[in-house]
Amino acid sequence: MIFFETYGDRLITAFQVHLFYVLTSVTIGFAIALVLGILLSRVPQYAKVIMPLLSVFQTIPGIVFIGILFLYLGMIPATVISALAVYAIFPILKNTYTGLLDIKKEYIEAAKGCGMSPFQTLLEVELPLASPSIIAGLRMSTIYTVSWAVLAAMIGLGGLGEFIYIGIASNNDQLILAGAIPSAIMAIGLSLLIDVLRRVVVPKGIRSVK
């Protein structure tokens, strides 16, 4: 209890900052990933080369991106957000792409046969059918981003990582937990929220057919 009297306010601010980083970067990442995923699914012959290259970049630890961007952009939130957004892209992109490619040919043919334009086919048939996969990618990205956002504190930009870094430096397990538990709660909370979103977005007719 004493702990909360001392750190309560800072913890709430840190939580908000952390959430802000996560939401902004996941939103940006999602938008980019969706567009890229759709574009790549139109040219699978190139995507076959591009996707593995992207997955290699995915192996670069987040800390490196933040570190390098920090050198060039300095200590501003944009550094953190753009680094996190880059990380949020890949799982969503991959799931969008495979989700779109996995759609059975017959639906596309039926859509064409019904006189749907390519854009209408995408909007009304392909994206709804790929939505379970896309949302699963979003969920994964969000959970990762909550975890990576801890790194903001490494360059002095706050968030729940602050508690964790200070805690590690001072060997104070209370402080580490004060950073870790809210961050885990945030990850779980957001993934529950996405489960709700899933129920709204994924059309009823395909919910049982995973």
Cβ–Cβ contacts within 10 Å for residue 4, how many? 10
Name residue 92's amino acid: I
Please say which residue, 16 or 172, places its beta carbon nearer to another protein. Answer: 172
Please say which residue, 40 or 111, places its beta carbon nearer to another protein. Answer: 111
Please say which residue, 76 or 114, places its beta carbon nearer to another protein. Answer: 114
Asked whether 174 and 167 are in contact (CB, 8 A), the reply is: yes
Q: How far is the CB of 170 from another protein (least distance, A)?
A: 10
Residues near another protein (CB under 8 A) are 56, 59-61, 63-64, 67-68, 70-71, 104, 106-107, 109-117, 120, 124-125, 128-129, 143, 146-148, 150-151, 154, 160-161, 164-165, 167-168, 171-173, 176-177, 179-180, 183-184, 187-188, 191, 203-206, 208-209
77 Cβ neighbours under 8 A, 6+ residues apart: 21, 157
Integer Cα distance of 61 and 150 in angstroms:
13
**Token couple for 201:** 């977005």
Q: How far is the CB of 56 from another protein (least distance, A)?
A: 6
At residue 157, the 3 state secondary structure works out as coil
